[in-house]
Amino acid sequence: MAFSQCDHDWEGRYYHIDQILDAPGPRTDEGFMAGDGVKDFLRNQSKILVIGAGGLGCEILANLALTGFKDIHVIDMDTIDISNLNRQFLFRQKDVAEFIMNRVPGVKVTPYFGKIQDKDDDYYLQFNLVICGLDSIEARRWINATLVNLVDPENPESLKPLIDGGTEGFKGQARVILPTITSCYECSLDMLNKPTAFPICTIANTPRLPEHCIEWASVLEWPRVYGDKKMDTDNPDDITWLYTIAAARAKEFKIEGVTWSLTQGVVKNIIPAIASTNAIIAASCCNEAFKIATSSAAYLNNYFMLIGTEGIYSYTFEHEKKKNCPVCGGDAVSLAVKPDMTLEELIEMLTERQDIQIKNPSLSTPTKQLYLRAPPQLEEATRPNLLKTVSELIPGGGEVTVTAGTLPFSLSLDITFT
């Protein structure tokens, strides 16, 4: 064999998968390197990141290991939580990496316990692919924006395909996001099912469901009793307090079904996870990862929906990129300016540019506001900046976000000094 083979690779280990990798098929990409080339890439070069080590994440890890990915990293963002235990077939999160490495020899799983936000661009740049198996919308928005921002036109390696899986009971979806090329997670934000919120007057006056009682305890009673003190949904004492209040309320209105775990489920917005739905979605995500990594077959373009609530129904479609997406939409312009140019002059220059067509812009950097048109108080607070030089306001240059009523969403400026 031309490529270095791991000690663990016994005869016939990859018999089935190799039939796909050994010869091009009718739908293989023209860049497909049948045989040793593609096997070497998959097994010895590719590095893949899995985000989330819950029910879906664990299933993804197992599938990846079995299809031949060997260098797998996983970020486990969950704190240890009793409610997670029954959802993960690998039982304890700490064991995930260990478990996979024991069961699938030759695979290296490197876990990181912490937040995705702990890691910088260089960390994400080392991977060929990222798969998300998360239930947090916030975390997905963050990783999506990070991967879109990572794309550097001078560096092809900076474009990292993102495969996102998610489940909710019998429903699930898998999608492929090619940052800056296809629709991104933010583009589809308004498609999301939002958590059920009950009208506050129903909660206050006419509770009918155990959930109404729990929301009464968490939305109305907690702030009334504790003021600004934040509820810690990971703290069992806080959940117990809410449960006690909710149970008393339920008794008063003769409502059945308030339990400790339902209380925790409602306040943490825990969506019922069904292991077999996770298995279907994880498998779909991993097949796409395999196809993208090997170019052995056409990959998902770009959204697969599984609806198992009324019989079984699935639907695949191309979700379209949004022009006014705050993450991947909008224009970006590089501007080289003289260091002594004032902010006012910069704004004037922007409004005069034919290709931008901007009126009354407001400008900010990731850390501060430069000039805001409105409301009056903010205009007044930022007005003194107009006379300052751009180099004084953003030493070293960098990103400036411009919003204006005339823009679909925003414009991103990359300021450098001449």
Exposed, middle or buried: residue 311 (CB in 10 Å: 0-12, 13-18, 19+)? exposed
User: Which of the listed partners (another protein, Zn ion, none) does 125 bind, with a CB threshold of 5 to 8 Å by partner kind?
Assistant: none
Q: Which of 225, 216, 226 is nearest to 250 (CA)?
A: 216
Task: Find the binder of another protein among 122, 138, 256, 352 (CB under 8 A).
Answer: 138
Distance CA 14, CA 414 (A): 48
Contact segment (CB under 8 A) with another protein among 98-106, 350-358, 364-372, 388-396 equals: 364-372
Question: Taking phi first (over 0 means left), then psi (-120 to 50 degrees means alpha), and beta for anything else, what does residue 367 get?
Answer: alpha
Task: Find the binder of another protein among 331, 342, 351, 417 (CB under 8 A).
Answer: 331
Contact segment (CB under 8 A) with another protein among 81-89, 147-155, 164-172, 348-356 equals: 147-155
Nearer to Zn ion, 88 or 183 (CB): 183
Least separation in angstroms between residue 328's CB and Zn ion is 3
201: annotated active-site residue: yes
User: Which of the listed partners (Zn ion, another protein, none) does 365 bind, with a CB threshold of 5 to 8 Å by partner kind?
Assistant: another protein
Among 6, 58, 184, 201, the active-site one is: 201
Nearer to another protein, 99 or 216 (CB): 216
Distance CA 159, CA 164 (A): 16
Contact segment (CB under 8 A) with another protein among 72-80, 273-281, 349-357, 402-410 equals: 402-410
Residue list 263-302, contact with another protein (CB under 8 A): 291-293, 295, 299
Least separation in angstroms between residue 380's CB and another protein is 9
Residue list 196-235, contact with another protein (CB under 8 A): 196-201, 204-205, 219-220, 223-224
Binding footprint of another protein, residue count (CB under 8 A): 71
Nearer to Zn ion, 144 or 263 (CB): 144
Task: Find the binder of another protein among 35, 106, 265, 326 (CB under 8 A).
Answer: 326
Residue list 65-124, contact with another protein (CB under 8 A): none
Could you tell me the CA-to-CA distances from 45 to 18, 238, 288 in Å, in that order? 17, 47, 18
Least separation in angstroms between residue 142's CB and another protein is 8
Backbone angles phi, psi at 160, to 5 degrees: -110, 115
Q: Nearest-5° angle of CA 88, CA 263, CA 194?
A: 75
Contact segment (CB under 8 A) with another protein among 162-170, 231-239, 346-354, 360-368 equals: 360-368
- What is the 3-class SS of 55-113, one letter each residue? HHHHHHHHHHHHHCCCEEEEEECCCCCHHHHCCCCCCCHHHHHHHHHHHCCCCEEEEEE
Residues that bind Zn ion (CB under 5 A): 184, 186-187, 325, 327-328
Could you tell me the CA-to-CA distances from 269 to 69, 89, 188, 211, 254 in Å, in that order? 33, 21, 21, 11, 24
SS3 371: strand
DSSP 280-321: HHHHHHHHHHHHHHH--SPPP-SEEEEE-SSS-EEEEE-PPP
Q: Should residue 170 be labelled a site residue for another protein when binding is judged by CB under 8 A?
A: no
Catalytic residue IDs: 201
